[in-house]
Structure 1
Amino acid sequence: MRLVTYATDGVAAGGVLVGDRVVDLASAVAHAAREDSGPPRPLPVRAYLERRLDHVAVAAAAGALARAGEGVTLDEVRLLPPVPDPEKILCIGLNYRDHAEEAGLQLPSEPMVFAKFRNSLIGPADAIVLPNAVERVDYEAELAVVIGRRGRAIPEELALRHVAGVTVFNDVSARDMQAATSQWTMGKAVDTFGPCGPSLVTLDEAGDLGDLRLRTRVNGATVQDGTTADMVFSVARLISHLSRAMTLEPGDIIATGTPAGVGFKRTPPVLLKDGDLVEVEIDGLGTLANRVAGPAAELAGGVTAVATA
């Protein structure tokens, strides 16, 4: 199943992507439960994950509703990040062997963890807005894992049971801010610097998380082409490690690192500028395609907030 958050008339709701149609998630849940009590209230994706419902039954119900003509087409909605309101966005640094090599750094012995926040999240077609404060803005293609089941001190062998699904993530980075201190948060948690989506793909459809191909294109030219097989720490290891320190909650996002080819390490460097088109694609999961906008968009209010129902 492919879960989305979509906006119509300024209000966001959870949905199920069936082909090119979006079926309301609350309607699919009600149909799966054979409930007929009138139009249901919108159901956010995070609230759906917290209820731990049967994905197979809900997916089947969404398919039946789509075949009956229910829902809307993708061109009628604005897709937001699949989970626009996570409690935590946890990111992993230097988790690909080839990226550590291009950075001239040793492989970490323990996962390197930093954070982004909700202010960074944007949808699969929203603009990455360059703030006045930065000059060296970079892309990073990443597989993002979304937690579906609450857990603390999770054994590695049980970790994937806590995963709702995966999605595509772009860990946009302000390299000048990132390099200014030993702490990375200021360079990573910038507004709009977390494109995510287009959908949350449940594990039954996602394939082998240890063998997914990631690519980044800037203005059509491929600048990253890697595979999750090159990860230093697997998804299961990361979940187990993080849960040693904190309780992982449904909707939490874990961005698992990027392969080689980042812009500031290329010759000549490929740094993002106003008007660029950045596409991040993971086989089987979809593509993020975000334009880059200059600081004028920030000053003009180019970042639009949409209320979550």
Structure 2
Amino acid sequence: MKLATLKDGSRDGQLLVVSRDLKTAAIADGIAASMQRALDDWAFIAPQLQLLYERLNAGKASAAFEFDTQKCMAPLPRAYQWADGSAYVNHVELVRKARNADMPDSFWHDPLMYQGGSDDFIGPNDDIELQSEEWGLDFESEIAVITGDVPMGCKVQHAAQHIRLLMLVNDVSLRNLIPAELAKGFGFFQSKPATSFSPVAVTPDELGDSWKDGKVHLAVRSSWNAVLVGQPNAGVDMVFSFPQLITHLCKTRNARAGTIIGSGTVSNKDASKGFSCIAEKRALEMIADGAASTAFMQFGDKIRIEMLDKNGKSIFGAIEQSVVEYHQK
């Protein structure tokens, strides 16, 4: 099943069911007004959405219309919780090596995770508004899951059953603000502006055998100014699976329906697969040459993030954004 949220002038938008080929959609009228409403009562609402999905794919849904990602908000426009992990430890290792910092052994068996802002996500085609190019704007191509209610102390063998949906993520970072923030010892804040997500969120079964062991075994494609710069396989070198990230999150607290958990920047040890963020490219340059030569994003730059299935068809639709100068409203 594929779901999206239509911009309608409200904070939470209107829930859509989207066809498998991403060509048509239908408003989930009379089933659930919003994505959060569906997640809150998933066992009752999901089967009804599934029936509408089947009718839509068969061309039998009444009031079906052309699906337009430009009219989409993030699938979950605001969430009770957004926690981003760093499951691709290769990425962490490269960034630390570039600045001659040691890699703690604990990073290989205890996930890194931070809690980001979840009250103001932006849509898949919304502009990335930036006040200053000097802040070092970077894209970060990731995968995320949306969970149902997860009890505190959830064991890893039970965690997968709480995954409701998957999405792509652009976890925007302001790299030049990060060092000073981390030096305070209290984590990210100003260096993590609004996050964006793919037009569509999908249930795990939509991925077929590409969803295995709590990982997505397909490439995440990142194109920067229309040039493909990365296509690492998300199932390769993912040290911590999504069930493991959920278990980590819920060690000391419950997670409520609508919690979003990110994988962190998708990264492969095979450098020929390219990069999913500029920081990784710069890290490789620093290791090889002693200095970074690739600049961060500038006003007018564009980023496209997408995942294709084994037949070359888009699964989630594309995140496609431009960087624009912010003017206070």
Q: Pick the TM interval, shorter chain.
A: 0.7 to 0.9
Q: Does 1:211 align with 2:212?
A: no
Q: Indicate which of 267, 278, 292 corresponds to 2:303.
A: 278
Amino acid at match of 1:82: P
> Structure 1 residue 113: deviation in Å?
1.2
> Structure 1 residue 57: deviation in Å?
4.3
Cα 1:142–1:245, aligned 2, differ >3 Å: closer, same or farther? same
Cα 1:69–1:290, aligned 2, differ >3 Å: closer, same or farther? same
Q: Does 1:293 align with 2:324?
A: yes
Query: What residue number does 1:25 align with?
Result: 28
**TM-score, structure 1 normalization:** 0.83
Q: Identity rate of aligned residues, in percent?
A: 22
Query: Match of 1:80, SS?
Result: coil
Cα 1:76–1:272, aligned 2, differ >3 Å: closer, same or farther? closer
Q: Does 1:122 align with 2:137?
A: no
> Structure 1 residue 278: deviation in Å?
0.5
Can you list the C-alpha shifts for 1:217-236, whole angstroms capped at 9, x where unaligned?
11111222212221111111
Amino acid at match of 1:286: G
Given that 1:120 and 1:189 are in contact with CA atoms closer than 8 Å, whether structure 2 keeps it comes out as no
Answer 1 or 2: which has greater strand percent: 1
Can you list the C-alpha shifts for 1:133-167, whole angstroms capped at 9, x where unaligned?
85211111000110123422111001111011100
List alignment gaps of at least 5 residues for structure 1. Answer: 30-41, 302-309
Query: What residue number does 1:82 align with?
Result: 75
Query: What residue number does 2:140 align with?
Result: 140
Amino acid at match of 2:242: V
Query: What residue number does 2:175 align with?
Result: 175
Cα 1:232–1:270, aligned 2, differ >3 Å: closer, same or farther? farther
> Structure 1 residue 188: deviation in Å?
4.1
Given that 1:86 and 1:118 are in contact with CA atoms closer than 8 Å, whether structure 2 keeps it comes out as yes
Can you list the C-alpha shifts for 1:29-74, whole angstroms capped at 9, x where unaligned?
3xxxxxxxxxxxx611011111123635422224426524413322
Query: Match of 2:114, SS?
Result: strand
> Structure 1 residue 181: deviation in Å?
2.9
Q: Number of residues paired by the alignment?
A: 282
Query: What residue number does 1:37 align with?
Result: none
Q: Indicate which of 86, 100, 105 corresponds to 2:92.
A: 100
> Structure 1 residue 239: deviation in Å?
0.5
Query: Match of 1:86, SS?
Result: coil
Amino acid at match of 2:300: G
Query: What residue number does 1:244 align with?
Result: 251
Amino acid at match of 1:237: Q
Can you list the C-alpha shifts for 1:59-104, whole angstroms capped at 9, x where unaligned?
22244265244133223971001011210000113x2143134212
Matches of 1:236 and 1:111 in 2, distance apart? Answer: 12
Query: What residue number does 2:52 align with?
Result: 61
Matches of 1:279 and 1:244 in 2, distance apart? Answer: 35
> Structure 1 residue 253: deviation in Å?
0.6
Matches of 1:134 and 1:246 in 2, distance apart? Answer: 38
Query: What residue number does 1:32 align with?
Result: none
Can you list the C-alpha shifts for 1:114-137, whole angstroms capped at 9, x where unaligned?
121134511110011112485211
Amino acid at match of 1:47: R
**TM-score, structure 2 normalization:** 0.78
Cα 1:48–1:220, aligned 2, differ >3 Å: closer, same or farther? same
Given that 1:148 and 1:165 are in contact with CA atoms closer than 8 Å, whether structure 2 keeps it comes out as no
Q: Give the CA RMSD over aligned residues.
A: 2.3
Runs of 4+ in 1 over 4 A off after TM superposition: none
Query: What residue number does 2:288 align with?
Result: none
List alignment gaps of at least 5 residues for structure 2. Answer: 268-274, 286-292, 309-314
Can you list the C-alpha shifts for 1:244-300, whole angstroms capped at 9, x where unaligned?
1221111111111113422134242241111111011123333211111113xx32x
Query: What residue number does 2:278 align with?
Result: 263
Cα 1:225–1:70, aligned 2, differ >3 Å: closer, same or farther? same
Matches of 2:133 and 2:253 in 1, distance apart? Answer: 32
Amino acid at match of 2:198: G
